[in-house]
Chains A and B, each alone.
Chain A
């Protein structure tokens, strides 16, 4: 029980000691945000997207012309087919009116008001239908790709859905569910749910096949084998290791999906399975104006531009998000 001599403090080996953090710890998401901020395209895309959303949400409160208002009596003839004001720049004889900066349609309805209220529906349908289709597609793709037992069944299901003719499917769905849905969600709500689910369940197959293809290759890679060998549960394996690596095709599918959903919605309304005919949406505005595009190019230009801008901004947003979420890029 002798007191032992005080041990000499071992010399610190630089390589073995932890460096003392010079900055307070940062969450992963702050890093993501930093990286995202540096992505110019993503910032511009994000801002554009916010502006479009604001315009269609707040716009109608500021620009309070009713999208369905029709001029009465003599006014009707005066106000129909008004050109946008900028046309006056090169055409003095053009019929323009400051009360209708983007002009009116052949029934005298204000184009700006219709663009804004149309955008609400189109963006809402586009985003929700796309989310639904991506969720379904990713889920089915990952499950089929990772769990071999499910592969056969799920991919044959995908083949079946790919083969089903869209139009009869829509007819049957609207026959079976329209009245029930209207009873639950009201007329417009019911149509919204019907349209979104129809687009969602008829467009997930591409995503599913693409995700499955990638997963089939990924799951044989070393890092997945490593994760498996240390006993990672399949759920975490999928979420932490597989999903981040199939993000980019999913992002592409998502951006393309919005465009498809907005256009499909107009096709559905045109066939009579979508919103009531006096309910403007971008796709419908575009469709209705095609016959008159050489007389009134603005009527195709604005809705076409709106759809393209939305898709473009979501595309850049997606690009930035993917870069920001990729640790290999973020580290540089």
Chain B
């Protein structure tokens, strides 16, 4: 593993060869646009992707994931493994070695005390740290010397790379944040807006929700980097405007997450100033089936809870027919183009954990009709199937988003063909994904028969993601409608697998279990109807070099390597 890591590091460096002769700051200014504007540069106080990515220009973790999802050391000398002795045999401790000679941008040395402090900061009970789940199970953190950090977990951790790995849990400076623990965290505006970091750039001015001006960090560990002297990080506007500014007018060099229809992007790329780049993480657009009854006639304590099973979606044949009627390739073509692939799964990547099912790729309206006929659902005079007075009438909700509304229209049409009546509803994303227990429109409350959205997991390990479907973890009135088991899925065999996965350290064995779990939710029960494995599309100017799109970590992970191409 160690050699592999080193090799990877070497490859990563080789990719930057053209910039290698470069000196720091010779390429002037680079401008980045994020259509969601960063509000704060402290990723621990905000879970928002925009804030995490913006802060990754300044703050760095011990190790990151690269564009292939492999771990590469950043502030650490190497990634600890069992093989190199960094991770204990019983999986309860992990020991990180910090690179010697690292300096913060204010010139003071980086020590293990900073790392330890970072954990204290996030784990403070009153801090409301957004990245707390990365520190799950951390018992103690010891600092035997200035460059060594030993994390001890309270139980064996098959995946000990939670704390200090990836853009979500970077290292902050102890000296700066010392007085910002717990309830004082939000009051430290100066610190939260201008964190001192180890990254290639440091903040000059931060205008929240608007623009960040950064300049090259003179204490950055590589004396030749970064090639750019300053960064303008603009936020706000919309995805269309951001795409135009990179592809058509050339005002910006990099635009993040361009959620636009493929034909729109293709047209803009014809502007000739930039190109779209795509990467695939584990993000899956799916239809979640409600296994419980969302009928408004039920009282609030029963509606959409396991006390009332769904009148027809509890029939697996209905769910299977719904899935069979969908033409996923067409969905991809209409909504995502190059940035999407059809999928039937919940976990599409990485290879070790992906089931790679293809049972759903072929649309089969006839088969779906036959299946429903066999199941006793008979078409009525209005073309809608019914059995024992129960009509196959579905309320299908999702968040407001042009592509999702196109999907709704297409899927409604296909479902009409198999005798299923569909009513569509779209809900503003800030309500849909907000967990307000008072609102009837949240995805957790699920006052609809099916709903569509996309979800993913951090890093490369789907354990926590799959564990969400544990029986009893569903949103319900008693839990203030909080919970991750959106479908109200309940299977003791599945729960047993969750526990087994949490105990298993062997990577191949973990893959096997995860695939089995994925299939229980998709192929075997059609509780989750996978639609599209979505990629991330970003826009990059033709004159910008040195960037590799990374969907496993912050997109700006390699900003130190960026340079302006010659002759432009």
Contact = CB atoms under 8 A, between A and B. Distances in A.
Interface string A78-111: 0011000000000000000000000000110100
B23 to A, nearest CB: 42
A271 interface: yes
Contact of B267 (A80, A288, A295): A295
Given A171-B431, A291-B261, A277 B267 contact: no
A244 interface: no
Interface residues of A, number: 26
Contacts of A276: 423-426
A302 interface: no
A78 B426 CA distance: 28
Interface string B235-261: 000001000000000000000000011
Given A271-B428, A272-B428, A277-B408, A292 B263 contact: yes
A82 B405 CA distance: 20
A80 B406 CA distance: 13
A76 to B, nearest CB: 7
Interface centre among A107, A109, A277 (most CB of B within 10 A): A277
A272 B263 contact: no
Interface stretch (B145-153, B215-223, B409-417): B409-417
Contact of A179 (B264, B267, B296, B402): B296
Contact of A106 (B334, B408, B417, B441): B334
A18 interface: no
A292 B409 contact: no
Interface residues of B, number: 32
A192 to B, nearest CB: 15
Contact of B439 (A72, A175, A271): A175
- Is chain A's binding surface mostly helix, strand, loop or mixed? loop
A106 B263 contact: yes
Interface string A278-307: 100000000010111011000000000000
A275 B405 CA distance: 12
Contacts of B330: 76
Interface string A40-76: 0000000000000000000000000000101010001
B6 interface: no
Interface string B462-493: 00000000000000000000000000000000
B425 A272 contact: yes
Contacts of A273: 428
Contacts of A272: 399-400, 425-428, 431-432, 441
A161 interface: no
A179 B440 contact: yes
Contact of A271 (B264, B400, B408): B400
Interface in A250-270: 270
A134 B44 CA distance: 51
B413 A70 contact: yes
A70 B409 contact: yes
A298 to B, nearest CB: 15
A135 B555 CA distance: 54
Contacts of A107: 334, 406, 409-410
B402 A291 contact: yes
Contacts of B399: 272
A277 B334 contact: no
A104 to B, nearest CB: 13
A90 to B, nearest CB: 19
A239 interface: no
Contacts of B267: 292, 294-295
A187 interface: yes
B264 A278 contact: no
A166 to B, nearest CB: 13
Contacts of B240: 290-291
Nearest to A294: B267
A277 B409 contact: yes
Contact of B264 (A76, A80, A171, A291): A291
Interface string A202-238: 0000000000000000000000000000000000000
Contacts of A106: 261, 263, 334, 406
A292 B264 contact: yes
Contacts of B440: 175, 179
Closest 9 CB pairs of A and B: A277-B405, A272-B427, A70-B413, A271-B428, A272-B426, A276-B424, A277-B426, A272-B428, A278-B409
26 contacts: A70-B410, A70-B413, A80-B334, A81-B263, A106-B334, A107-B406, A107-B409, A107-B410, A109-B409, A171-B431, A175-B439, A179-B440, A272-B426, A272-B431, A272-B432, A276-B424, A277-B400, A277-B405, A277-B408, A277-B409, A278-B424, A290-B240, A291-B240, A291-B261, A292-B261, A292-B263
